[in-house]
Amino acid sequence: MSQSTIEIFGSNVFNDAAMRERLPKNVYKSLKKTIDGLEPLNPAIADVVANAMKDWAVEKGATHYCHWFQPMTGLTAEKHDAFISPTPDGKTIMEFSGKELSQGEPDASSFPSGGLRATFEARGYTAWDCTSPVFIKEDGKNLTLYIPSAFCSFTGHALDKKTPLLRSMDALSTQAMRVLKCLGNTTSKRVISTCGPEQEYFLVDRSFYEKRMDLVLTGRTLFGAPSPRGQEMDDHYFGTLHERVATFMHDLNVELWKLGVSAKTQHNEVSPGQYELAPVFSTANVATDHNQLTMETMEKIAIRHDFVCLLHEKPFAGVNGSGKHNNWSLSTDDGMNLLDPGSTPHDNMIFLVMLCATIKAVDKYARLLRATVANTGNEHRLGANEAPPAIISIFLGDQLGDIFEQLAEGGAISSRTGGELKLGVSSLPELPKDCSDRNRTSPFAFTGNKFEFRMPGSTQSTSGPNFVLNTIVAEVLEGIADELENSEDKKNTLQKLLTKIAVEHGKVVFNGDNYTEEWVKEAEKRSLPNIRSSVEALKCITDAKHVELFEKHHVLSGAELHARTEILLEAYSMAINIEAKTMLDMAKRQILPAVNAYAGELATSAKAIVDAGAINKTQTEMLKKVCSLIDALASGASILEQAIDNAIGIADFIKQAESYRDDVIPAMNLVRNSADQLELIVDAEIWPLPSYAEMLFLK
Ligand code: ADP
Ligand code: MG
């Protein structure tokens, strides 16, 4: 009999229920206080907790444990150790100590460090993050206890994505609590940033994938003429699920539910072959861990169904790319969503202060936010006539837009209401109408009781966007708290502060269509940055203003920020280097041989036709066209080869990234252009690569 969803959910997680059941009461209480951010971890309880975890894991069939961390590669890392501890009688017992739970010492020398650590200084540390529950992962026959961990160098520098996220959550909580106290809150102990990331992805049949070195090595197609049919019928979004895809989604959900990942929403996305999964939101830290698990599990389950899951931001040119909408809000430990406007937002002071703080933070640190979404894949989306644009602006909608304008004029005194929606059919219910419409084109939209940051790319960890959001909002809240704490008349002071924010930062609010040329011009007038290039975006990270911000809130030091910038720019260069080399290889060893053979066939038939006394006009014209495209392809390939050679030799990591952007990418475009034109005229039987039509439509 199949297990029910209720039984399956969280069955592989050492969650609160499991801890309560298996830990002595005092140990449970102490650990819970640490998990809730109220007390540091008491090292004395670590042995007891480790032992209980081990017993639980071994009962479920686990043989190994691992510290699971998120180095700057953007992927996760793990090194497994068995629980075995051989005894003198030649047998073994299963052991797991508090020290093994709390700390690991992986060799850090092969992870990106951005110069924070010389290669000979190999030691690194992982530290158990008890705020994200341990879980068992089943990989084939291998069952392992996973311990979510932070990762740092021997010198204590953060080398991972988790550490700054946790630090930023502390910073945000500290400042938000100060503001809440000033506004009379006496019940909350902590403010938590919450995140619900919507994950977009493509599925392609494995047989096509295996015939495309570009997909195998780079995750995206480097060649491919458009399919005669793309997404113009608007018939894929929310369309009926294909049975094979639905079965994949079912197995994916079951696997995720076991891990406690609350996969909730699933549907077809805009492009053919594109889909989305959204979980129920959780704390930014757990959501980030769970999103990594979601991506890994998607890839794993897809293979079981003879699909391959493509997480790349732009696997196919000409149809929609994939993003990861980062839904973000603030909530108190006692369950209040601070971005919930309630029914009369104009007099909801807590809401207004959090809303205005976020608006100011996003306006003031727009470049930094833009940097969090900069990578090679996302460059194909942002600023390339696709959703969303590279200009950061905020959508508030009618109701809040109106309140924000009232604030700018001195104070908000009323809230517009939505009313009812009548459908004109007596059997259909009257629907309460929302106060604002949605806006799909905005990169940063207020959506009911949270902000939705739509720029992150589908492959990216949610750590970056969230630790930056948390830190910039903490910074603004700190300023507000400073003034409120020193004020005799808090209400009046707050009113003035909000008005000041509305006046000074109203320029970042935009409720119109973000895709138009007019907006680009208008944004320029408002001096909002429009950073199209990832390299330019990444270079901003170490601006003095940003270093000061992160140091002040103890999220990242100047040295850590410099290291990160170097790592991200090098990753940019290396990703393009791999793409360029893959492209050259495919051009030279697959496409050119095929098109040369085709040209030979055309030549033979042109000659045979003349020999037979007929006119070979069409054949010679085709031959000429093919030959001229072959020439263009071959010359593009040699330009590309030269560009790669130049770029790879550049020592300075910024100049190198610029060379990949300015020389290598344009050469890649040349090569692709000729090859894609050839694909449209060459015999389909000869063309060495599966077509866009096959990959996007055949299941
Ligand atoms: P959309 O209509 O924008 O596609 P979805 O239902 O696909 O919306 O996803 C919305 C996401 O926002 C979900 O992951 C949901 O859990 C998340 N979300 C809802 N409320 C909050 C909140 N308070 N904080 C963070 N995320 C939230
Ligand atoms: Mg969605």
**Tens of pLDDT, residues 247-277:** 999 999 999 999 999 999 999 999 999 999 9
Regarding the beta carbon of 281 and ligand 1, being less than 6 Å apart is answered: yes
Alpha-carbon separation of residue 12 from 15, 80, 250, 405, 463 (angstroms): 9, 17, 18, 50, 24
Pocket test for ligand 1, best of 268, 327, 332, 395 (most atoms within 8 A of CB): 327
Please answer whether residues 27 and 48 qualify as being in contact, where contact means their C-beta atoms are separated by less than 8 angstroms: yes
Atom of ligand 1 nearest to the CA of 280: 16
Cα 84 versus chain centre, distance: 37
Q: What is the mean pLDDT of residues 120-130?
A: 85
CA of 433 to the centre of ligand 1 (A): 19
What is the average pLDDT value for the chain, to the nearest integer? Answer: 94
The pLDDT tens digits of the residues spanning 149-172 come to 999 988 889 999 999 999 999 999
Please answer whether residues 236 and 319 qualify as being in contact, where contact means their C-beta atoms are separated by less than 8 angstroms: no
The pLDDT tens digits of the residues spanning 49-108 come to 999 999 999 999 999 999 999 999 999 999 999 999 999 999 999 999 999 999 998 888
Closest protein CA for atom 13 of ligand 1: 196
CA of 324 to the centre of ligand 2 (A): 9
The pLDDT tens digits of the residues spanning 127-156 come to 999 999 999 999 999 999 999 999 998 888
Backbone dihedral angles phi then psi of residue 619, each to the nearest 5 degrees: -65, -40
CA of 453 to the centre of ligand 1 (A): 11
Cα 41 versus chain centre, distance: 30
Dig out the tokens for 182 from the structure: 């000033």
Regarding the beta carbon of 337 and ligand 1, being less than 6 Å apart is answered: yes
Regarding the beta carbon of 280 and ligand 1, being less than 6 Å apart is answered: yes
Q: Give one DSSP letter per residue of 331-388, joined into a string.
A: EETTS-BTT---S-GGG-HHHHHHHHHHHHHHHHTHHHHHHTT-STTGGGTTTTTSSS
Pocket test for ligand 1, best of 192, 324, 450 (most atoms within 8 A of CB): 450
**Which of 355, 475, 368 is CA-nearest to residue 415?**
355
Q: Which pLDDT value is given to residue 118? A: 63
pLDDT classification of 1: cutoffs 50, 70, 90: very low
Backbone dihedral angles phi then psi of residue 167, each to the nearest 5 degrees: -60, -40
Atom of ligand 1 nearest to the CA of 448: 20
Please answer whether residues 43 and 128 qualify as being in contact, where contact means their C-beta atoms are separated by less than 8 angstroms: no
Regarding the beta carbon of 439 and ligand 1, being less than 6 Å apart is answered: no
Q: What is the mean pLDDT of residues 428-433?
A: 74
Regarding the beta carbon of 282 and ligand 1, being less than 6 Å apart is answered: no
Dig out the tokens for 595 from the structure: 């098109």
**Which of 287, 324, 325, 328 is CA-nearest to residue 193?**
328
Enumerate residues 6+ apart whose C-beta is below 8 A from 46: 97, 98, 99, 101, 102
Q: Is 90 left (phi over 0), alpha (psi -120 to 50) or beta?
A: left
Regarding the beta carbon of 278 and ligand 1, being less than 6 Å apart is answered: yes
Separation CA 221–CA 78 (nearest Å)? 30
- Return the SS3 of 246: helix
Q: What is the mean pLDDT of residues 200-212?
A: 98
DSSP state for residue 509 in the 8-state scheme: B
Regarding the beta carbon of 536 and ligand 1, being less than 6 Å apart is answered: no
On the question of pLDDT at 119 being above 60, the answer is no
CA of 310 to the centre of ligand 1 (A): 23
In the chain, residues under CATH classification 3.30.590.10 are: 168-219+236-417+431-556
3-state secondary structure labels for all residues of 671-692: HHHHHHHHHCCCCCCCCCCCCH
CA of 12 to the centre of ligand 1 (A): 25
Please answer whether residues 312 and 380 qualify as being in contact, where contact means their C-beta atoms are separated by less than 8 angstroms: no
Q: Which pLDDT value is given to residue 112? A: 87
Q: pTM here? A: 0.96
On the question of pLDDT at 421 being above 70, the answer is no
> What radius of gyration do the chain's Cα atoms show?
28
DSSP state for residue 313 in the 8-state scheme: S
CA of 362 to the centre of ligand 1 (A): 20
Atom of ligand 1 nearest to the CA of 331: 23
Residue for token pair 């791999």: 578
Regarding the beta carbon of 194 and ligand 1, being less than 6 Å apart is answered: yes
Closest protein CA for atom 23 of ligand 1: 329
Regarding the beta carbon of 450 and ligand 1, being less than 6 Å apart is answered: yes
Dihedral angle at the C-alpha atoms of 538, 543, 545, 550, nearest 10 degrees?
A: 60
Between 41-50, 460-469, 541-550, the lowest mean confidence (pLDDT) is in 41-50
Separation CA 320–CA 271 (nearest Å)? 5
The pLDDT tens digits of the residues spanning 641-684 come to 999 999 999 999 999 999 999 999 999 999 999 999 999 999 99
On the question of pLDDT at 482 being above 70, the answer is yes
Regarding the beta carbon of 198 and ligand 1, being less than 6 Å apart is answered: yes
Separation CA 26–CA 537 (nearest Å)? 49
Upper half-sphere CA count for residue 530 (Cβ side, 13 Å): 17
Between 229-243, 301-315, 567-581, the lowest mean confidence (pLDDT) is in 229-243
Closest protein CA for atom 2 of ligand 1: 447
Query: Which ligand is closest to the CA of 200, given by its number?
Result: 2
On the question of pLDDT at 313 being above 70, the answer is yes
Separation CA 571–CA 311 (nearest Å)? 17
CA of 445 to the centre of ligand 2 (A): 13
Query: Which ligand is closest to the CA of 287, given by its number?
Result: 1
Residue for token pair 């910073």: 171
CA of 196 to the centre of ligand 1 (A): 5
Atom of ligand 1 nearest to the CA of 329: 24
Dig out the tokens for 479 from the structure: 């300023």
User: In this prediction, what percent of the chain has a pLDDT beyond 70?
Assistant: 98
In the chain, residues under CATH classification 1.20.120.1560 are: 572-697
Q: Which pLDDT value is given to residue 316? A: 97
What topology is assigned to 572-697 in CATH? Four Helix Bundle (Hemerythrin (Met), subunit A) (1.20.120)
CA of 440 to the centre of ligand 1 (A): 14
- In which element (H, E) is residue 435 found? none
Query: Which ligand is closest to the CA of 286, given by its number?
Result: 1
Atom of ligand 1 nearest to the CA of 281: 16
**Which of 134, 205, 590, 650 is CA-nearest to residue 598?**
590
Domain 3-160 coded CATH 3.10.20.70 = yes
Closest protein CA for atom 26 of ligand 1: 196
pLDDT classification of 233: cutoffs 50, 70, 90: confident
Please answer whether residues 195 and 281 qualify as being in contact, where contact means their C-beta atoms are separated by less than 8 angstroms: yes
The pLDDT tens digits of the residues spanning 586-615 come to 999 999 999 999 999 999 999 999 999 999
Residue for token pair 């670590």: 46
Closest protein CA for atom 19 of ligand 1: 281
- Return the SS3 of 634: helix
Dig out the tokens for 508 from the structure: 């970042």
Dig out the tokens for 256 from the structure: 């995720």
Regarding the beta carbon of 196 and ligand 1, being less than 6 Å apart is answered: yes
Pocket test for ligand 1, best of 198, 282, 470 (most atoms within 8 A of CB): 198
Q: Place domain 168-219+236-417+431-556 in its CATH homologous superfamily.
A: Glutamine synthetase/guanido kinase, catalytic domain (3.30.590.10)
Regarding the beta carbon of 195 and ligand 1, being less than 6 Å apart is answered: yes
Q: What is the mean pLDDT of residues 205-231?
A: 96
Closest protein CA for atom 5 of ligand 1: 278
Separation CA 125–CA 156 (nearest Å)? 8
Atom of ligand 1 nearest to the CA of 197: 14
CB-CB neighbours of 575 under 10 Å: 16
On the question of pLDDT at 117 being above 70, the answer is no
The burial of 572, by beta-carbon neighbours within 10 Å (0-12 exposed, 13-18 middle, 19 or more buried), is given as buried
Atom of ligand 1 nearest to the CA of 279: 14
Q: Give one DSSP letter per residue of 440-476, joined into a string.
A: TT-SEEE-SSSEEE--SBTTS-SHHHHHHHHHHHHHH
On the question of pLDDT at 425 being above 80, the answer is no
Q: Which pLDDT value is given to residue 417? A: 81
Dig out the tokens for 83 from the structure: 């629980």
User: In this prediction, what percent of the chain has a pLDDT beyond 90?
Assistant: 86
In the chain, residues under CATH classification 3.10.20.70 are: 3-160
Query: Which ligand is closest to the CA of 268, given by its number?
Result: 2
* Cα dihedral 672, 675, 677, 679 sign: negative
Atom of ligand 1 nearest to the CA of 447: 3
Regarding the beta carbon of 73 and ligand 1, being less than 6 Å apart is answered: no
CA of 342 to the centre of ligand 1 (A): 17
Q: Which pLDDT value is given to residue 645? A: 98
pLDDT classification of 430: cutoffs 50, 70, 90: confident
Please answer whether residues 678 and 691 qualify as being in contact, where contact means their C-beta atoms are separated by less than 8 angstroms: no
Please answer whether residues 323 and 454 qualify as being in contact, where contact means their C-beta atoms are separated by less than 8 angstroms: yes
CA of 189 to the centre of ligand 2 (A): 32
CA of 166 to the centre of ligand 1 (A): 21
CB-CB neighbours of 29 under 10 Å: 12
Query: Which ligand is closest to the CA of 264, given by its number?
Result: 1
Q: What is the mean pLDDT of residues 205-222?
A: 98
